[in-house]
Amino acid sequence: MSDGPRVRFAPSPTGHLHIGGARTALFNWLYARRQKGVFVLRIEDTDEVRSTEESVGAIYDGLRWLGLEWDEGPGVGGGYGPYTQMERRDLYDEVTEKLLADGHAYWCYCSAEELRARREEAMARGRPPGYDGRCRDLSDAQRAQHEAEGRTRVLRFRVPDEGDVTVHDVVRGECVFEPAALDDFVIVKSSGAPMFNLANVVDDHHMEISHVIRGDDHLSNTPRQLLIYRAMGWRPPKFAHAPMILDADGQKLSKRRTGAETYVAEFRAAGYLPSAMLNYLALLGWSTPDSRQLFESVDDLIKAFSIKRITKNPAIFDRDKLDWLNGQHVRLWDAKDFVDAAVAFLPAEMVGGRDESWVRRVVALEQERVVKLSDIGALTAMFFEDELRMDPAAWEKEMTVEGVAAILRAAREKLAEVGEWTAGETEVAVRAAAADMGVKGGAVIHPVRVAATGRTAGPGLFDCLGLLGEAKVLARLDAAMSRLAEDGR
């Protein structure tokens, strides 16, 4: 067993793995690896209405795709299980019984309508809208009457009337909360299932979690959780609250607001690499020791990571930066690995019936230009399409030059004479055309590229010509010359 820290990622399975959750998982995983500790996965499924098995599976898939394998948890086991909260109900029941017996909790019979009315009244009078403690000191007779009336009940924690609660946070320092700001919060639902704050504390204690690293949207929960630790006589873990992740407009990152990807599965489907996602997520709310942005390996991230360098300020999700990093990681890939992954992103209608070796060679040409793997279809379309899609700007740039028709004609004649159609032989032909016309190679290469590929930039021209094949190249040169003739050039 490790002597290092024990940290956990405890998602609620009410949806797919969000970028914010993935960042939290990564920070915990990096800390565990850096400190030679244990990374625990715990599923917090106490939301009986919204929790689904589909979401549980999506969380597993997302973490595994990112390479964040857990040391303890579902499917792996460990000495602190079970690792799904709804399988731990007996443990929560024991704790609530003790809290009741010691006077730290009480049953509340207020209906939702009554609570709403009292909140509205409090706000109308300029008072805090929190729970007013109506059921705090019910007599046995009053409780019996409520029970006889069939009122539903929830269990509330009795917040002390005096004494501030101080959160000693690794990131934010000391955060002080007054009791009046906490009010008597619910710890057990009317269904008997534990609320987040209770289950979270009980699990972290019994799983011997030493550090809780999570988003600062949970900072307001922490004083309530510390009160439960205090009531139970337990030692709390150390807390580190990472900053929120915001979109470019400074709003909480939300798919409903922006329409863009916010879930790990969506980034995977869009062709982002797990290594790039890890690299980028690590930079969201963490300052690197040397202002470094590109981490070529996960080992480099592990060596550099420290929770003391988690920042306080909100992190802005910058898609341009993510794209840049993804392109860098694509370039770092082994060529075979790149082709294996990128081919899967080609539309089936493009590659159907084509020679696999040829397709792989086409894809390999674009490794230096791919930003994300889903780009590969558009980048390689010129090789697969029968009717070339010409970039108007490329045509305007290269095909309006004086004498371009004669240049294309000379290149076409030389290319038609090529015996074995390869990249090397097409280069010899094109350069021979330039020599015959007494112009530099570029004067022929640039218009030939536009005529054959429809664009001004891309892989090496002669590699493109070799893979496009003689028939397609000559037909495209003919089509370009016909268009020039129609334009009177």
Give pLDDT tens digits along the chain (489 positions).
Answer: 468 999 999 999 998 999 999 999 999 999 999 999 999 999 999 888 889 999 999 999 999 999 999 999 999 999 999 999 999 999 999 999 999 999 999 999 999 999 999 989 988 888 888 898 899 999 999 999 999 999 999 999 999 999 999 999 999 999 999 988 899 999 999 999 999 999 999 999 999 999 999 999 999 999 999 999 999 999 999 999 999 999 988 888 876 666 678 899 999 999 999 999 999 999 999 999 888 999 999 999 999 999 999 999 999 999 999 999 999 999 999 999 999 999 999 999 988 889 999 999 999 999 999 999 999 999 999 999 999 999 999 999 999 999 999 999 999 999 999 999 999 999 999 999 999 999 999 999 999 999 999 999 999 999 999 999 999 999 999 999 999 999 887
Q: Which two tokens stand for residue 103?
A: 């006077």
Residue 456 exposed, middle or buried by CB count within 10 Å (0-12, 13-18, 19+): middle
Q: Which two tokens stand for residue 32?
A: 């565990």
State the sign of the Cα–Cα–Cα–Cα dihedral 426, 427, 428, 431: positive
Residue 36's CB is within 10 A of a number of other CB atoms, namely 10
pLDDT digits (tens, 9 = 90+) for 169-217: 999 999 999 988 899 999 999 999 999 999 999 999 999 999 999 999 9
Fold classification of 6-73+245-319 is Rossmann fold (3.40.50)
Q: What are phi and psi of 414, to 5 degrees?
A: -70, -40
Superfamily of domain 88-242: HUPs (3.40.50.620)
Distance (Å, whole) CA 358 – CA 370: 19
pLDDT recorded at residue 252: 87
DSSP character for 308?
Answer: G
CATH 1.10.10.350 residue ranges of the chain are 392-486
For strand 105-108 and strand 154-157, is the pairing parallel, antiparallel, or unpaired? antiparallel
AA letter at 146: H
Distance (Å, whole) CA 489 – CA 482: 10
pLDDT recorded at residue 446: 97
Q: Give the contacts of 216 (CB within 8 A, at least 6 positions apart).
A: 171, 172, 241, 242, 243, 244
pLDDT recorded at residue 210: 98
If you write DSSP's letter for every residue of 333-353 in order, what string do you get?
S-HHHHHHHHHTTS-HHHHTT
- Find the helix or strand (DSSP H, E) in which 445 lies: helix 441-453
CA-angle at 205, arms to 204 and 211, nearest 5°:
55
Residue of 98, 189, 255, 472 marked catalytic: 255
Residue 277 contacts residue 267 (beta carbons within 8 Å):
yes
DSSP character for 205?
Answer: H
AA letter at 184: D
CATH 3.40.50.620 residue ranges of the chain are 6-73+245-319, 88-242
Q: Is 372 a catalytic residue?
A: no
392-486 in CATH: which number?
A: 1.10.10.350
